[in-house]
Amino acid sequence: MAYKIAIATSNGIDVDETFGATQSFTVFEVSDGEFELLEKRSADKGNGEEAVSSALEDCGVGSGCGSVGESGCTGSGGGKCGGSEGISKKVKLIDDCRAVVCKKIGFQVQKQLERKAISAFDVNCTVKEALEKITFYYKRIDNHESLRKQ
């Protein structure tokens, strides 16, 4: 059974980007335990400065929400100051993948991925190492084998 894994990487070597900060996902296709580079999918860059400006307006900097760089209007605070629309676009971008691998994945993102049945892995390793471990994991799970070392 073939499936896809999306990885947040800036250089193609290391898993070095968080889900929220990544501008693209490198997608690999896994078939029979072997993986190959399929494509690079870019997140919509059209919401850059406009999204920050909109978040600041919605936030009302004087309302106790904080300012850019502090808690609140950084896009990770949730509510009006959160970047939920941008996150939803990124989730939709990879909704045909079985898993996503990032340096860090926030709780709200994990919930959205869970609703789409996409496994989330936040790791600190190379792309190759992450792919090897995840393909091993899915191979054992798909064949109903124990994950314990024998």
pLDDT tens, 10-20? Answer: 999 999 999 99
Q: In Å, how far from its chain's centre is CA 60?
A: 28
**What's the token pair of residue 29?**
């296709």
What percentage of the chain reaches a pLDDT higher than 70?
Answer: 73
Question: Is there a domain that residue 149 lies in?
Answer: no
* H or E stretch covering 34: strand 34-42
User: What band does 149 get if pLDDT is binned at 50, 70 and 90?
Assistant: confident
Give the per-residue pLDDT at 45: 53
Select the more confidently predicted residue: 70 or 110: 110
Average pLDDT score, the chain: 78
Residue type, position 73, single letter: C
CATH of the domain at 82: 3.30.420.130
Spatial distance between the Cα atoms of 134 and 55, rounded to a whole number of angstroms = 36
Question: Is there a domain that residue 109 lies in?
Answer: yes
Give the per-residue pLDDT at 150: 66
Residue numbers of the domain that contains 72: 3-142
Give the per-residue pLDDT at 62: 31
105 touches 118 (CB < 8 A): no
Q: Are strands 24-31 and 3-7 parallel, antiparallel or unpaired?
A: antiparallel
Select the more confidently predicted residue: 46 or 92: 92
Question: Is there a domain that residue 61 lies in?
Answer: yes
pTM beyond 0.75, yes or no = no
* H or E stretch covering 136: helix 127-142
Assess whether pLDDT exceeds 90 at residue 109.
yes
Question: Is there a domain that residue 132 lies in?
Answer: yes
- Domains held by the chain: number: 1
> Which stretches within the chain are classed as H helix?
48-59, 84-93, 107-115, 127-142
